[in-house]
Structure 1
């Protein structure tokens, strides 16, 4: 079992999202899933409003060039989310895609779940998903539809002792919200799906102790951890017109982790 870097370039990018406008949350520093997703969307022809709470979206957007505009927002605050979509509409004239990657770490915090842990995790993952989806729908319905891709987690299906119980519960709620928005707004032309990553070597996970890195990477059926690009490519497909008859699904991108009983 190994966690070595895995090449994901099975085809040359370009054109999958040509002419689309995407709002992507959680676009922090380089090597995060959000930043990698934003870069791929630009490569595939999209214009991107890149948002994060940290301020790191400024450098990320600058690195990606004129097709990317930064915006700072806290997705747990409805006024911020409303302003985010207003800015997207003012800048680009429409919103075709929302990719909601924003989240905070779900590592085990202590032997018992505290109220502070629960509120921290559910406010970002659950409330943040609700608010971004709500305002994306408001922007998309007048234009005849759009595509939403939420980021869930393999932890929403099964339980791992290293993962916070509150995090797993919040991500299960993301799955439920994804399906609910898909059913409620499908008649208006809006598709809503979710990507459920397994253990992925994004920037924050490079700090995981080597023994934990080996254990977590080895849980997948493929015997390795995932790469941010592997999450981003699935999100791009779900957001694209190639997935025109795909809605209400949660796609595990976890190397088969959630298929195992262990």
Structure 2
């Protein structure tokens, strides 16, 4: 049975993605940092509803030492990783001149450093020697075009896109694919800070006149990590209802 590591698995997109991979026959590793109750509940749900094993692991992806611990746990339990979904992320709305040094470090640490640390670890331990594997990074449409009052978020997510394209070129000959999803407005906990009027305005700005659901991203992730996408690498797929074209 194949193994997929999903970072940020306790969040809306992460939990939907983990469940989708479990239903498709993967054992899933559920990385979380703060939301232990959600991660444990998700693991129970997966093992009740599928034939897959779910392993919750607490680790801060912005720390290379904790990422090493994460993959120690994975290697001890499953021995290999076939898919890594770098989904862990945080968001913040703030005027650029109000962004503190700590705000910047936290944003880039989780959203960009975490992708680097996890990808480096999975490549060195498993994928390069096995000459196979898929890395899927979750960026944002704001990483493509930028968002006012989210400069640090946009910068980190743009970095994820650059990392994806460069890494795909580097590891392609090792039989490894690297792709990126750039979600639009998806109804997760990250949207709780927006009032109803703002959410409706975002919906109105979306050509499909609808907002995304976590499963929209999960099913796209499943496709990009499957053999159906075996000739796709280095790509950024916008799943945004037409908000950014």
Q: Is residue 2:133 matched to residue 1:146?
A: yes
* Aligned equivalent of 1:36, options 6, 11, 16: 16
* Aligned equivalent of 1:116, options 91, 94, 102: 102
Cα shift at 1:159: 2.8
TM-score by length of 2: 0.92
RMSD between superposed Cα atoms in Å: 1.4
Greater CA drift, 96-105 or 108-117: 108-117
Q: Residue 187 of structure 1: SS of its match in structure 2?
A: helix
Q: Distance in 1 between matches of 2:173 and 2:227?
A: 17
Please name the residue that 2:206 is paired with. Answer: 220
Cα shift at 1:21: 0.7
Q: Residue 173 of structure 2: SS of its match in structure 1?
A: helix
User: Gaps spanning 5+ residues in structure 2: where?
Assistant: none
Please name the residue that 2:122 is paired with. Answer: 136
Q: Distance in 2 between matches of 1:63 and 1:158?
A: 37
- Change beyond 3 A, Cα 1:111–1:191: closer
Please name the residue that 1:48 is paired with. Answer: 28
Aligned residue pairs, count: 237
Aligned residues of 1:102 and 1:125 also touching (Cα < 8 A): yes
Q: Residue 177 of structure 2: SS of its match in structure 1?
A: strand
* Aligned equivalent of 1:209, options 170, 195, 207: 195
Q: What are the equivalent positions in structure 2 for 1:1-262 lying under 5 Å apart? A: 19-29=1-11, 32-54=12-34, 55=36, 56-65=38-47, 67-105=53-91, 107-110=92-95, 112=97, 113-138=99-124, 139-161=126-148, 163-259=149-245
Higher helix share goes to which structure? 2
TM-score by length of 1: 0.86
